Chains A and B, each alone.
Chain A
Amino acid sequence: MTASGLIARKEAGELLLNPRGLTWLMAVAVALSTFGLLLVSNTELSLLDNAQVVYDMVGIVAALGALLALIVGIDAVAGERERGSLVPLLLTPVSRNAILMGKLGGVAIAWGVIYVLSLPYLWAVGSTGQNMIDGMLVSALLGTPVVLGFGFFGMALGSVAGTTRTALLTGLVTLLVSASPLLLGPSLRQSAIGHIFDAVNPFSAAVNAYDAVIVDSQSIIAQSPHMLVAAIWLILTLVFARMRFRKIAR
């Protein structure tokens, strides 16, 4: 196995195999369960609202994934530095890029677990409505670059910031602003500033694609402009993370 693979396995193992580490997965499951249970008692939902429910749940999954990726990304650099375990890792004969990609591998595996965990919930709330399968597909296609981008962004912040706390605060505020389209409807983003924000914000790209595919029944292929925004976000954060990670002094 390559060095990146070994690091990824170790990172994912800490997240998934450690009994205490599984608590985050339980928190994700409880969040999705709570949302599902809130819907059960609502008898006023129209068929259109059913698509809205799937859209909301896919958005929640992306937000939870991005939050996890950001925190794990920050902890992978700033956290390890504070615990004194980063320097020994940097002293090993493994390139910085391999370390970075290995740590992202851990994030990717954790995102994969969240995604798989979300599927039964999406089936539970969405199988009686429209576009559930398309919703699952677009969630993977758009959610993955957005979430992994936040993982890279977290690593970059962890490399730049002096402390984990600073990196976490900066990252969480950025995520809150980026994920605001989940809370603000499209009508509140109709101004020129809203359009610019939507054009450059990867979370807006994902949310708009979810809306178009799940609620408006558009094809996934037609979402390529949104996919492009998400891909650019992933590339930019990768470049940012590589630049900052290289500059960490041993």
Chain B
Amino acid sequence: MLAPMMRLAVAGKGGVGKSVVSATLARLLARRGHKVLVLDSDTLPGLTISLGVDPPEQPPLLDAVEKNDKGRWRLRKGIGPVRAIQRYSTPAPDGVRLLQLGKLSREGSAPLFAATNAYYQIVHRISHDERTGRASSLQDWVLLGDLPAGARQVAYDWAPYAERFLLVVEPTSQSMMTARRIARLVTGMRADADIALVVNKARSAAEAEKVATFLEREPLAVVPFDHAVRLAEREGAALIDHAPACEAVAAIGRLADRLEADSLVT
């Protein structure tokens, strides 16, 4: 019986492949029998496309909050993190559940304010419960957060549940610099969090080596450059549906192996 304590957040520069890696990893883990909750705090629809779901028109979490007597948005009475996830997460293929903050519309961020509060409170309550050892029915779930591009949400503690940050890096200078900035932020804020490197779009062993040397870490996984990803991205299709046998999916499968193995050791 597997009892994974996988608490992951995926971060990196825009366009490096965070959502493709996150979504493919989530679906592979779900197919292996894990309960997987994907946490989507990006207000742009990247992850939903890679998972193969349509984002809802309205953020489901709008129904999870109410204003308290001080005028602040709070989770409604009786709604803890577990119930909020049961009620307001949406189904994705392979049995993955998706908890979304919500998507930006032309009205701007104001309509998202309540949902943003709900999301932030839920992820913080999950991690608070787990750190204080409170029994949580999420403990046999894999939590996998896909953070928006850049370092901002890391700096603002949007993934407090994460025990391990997966830095997705392609062999470009700006992507490596971004990963180094994020790694420094994580190290400064969360001494207990692990940082793991996933090299993406590597055209050669030398390119993977270059990234590893720059970031002074051995990669947990190296995903090769794969034209199948380019074509899936052009179509707006989930990679695992579009090209299930491609090299990139196989490499993300090996990443899943490593994560499973690590979670069993602890």
Is the pairing of A and B real? no
Residues of A within 8 A of B (CB): none
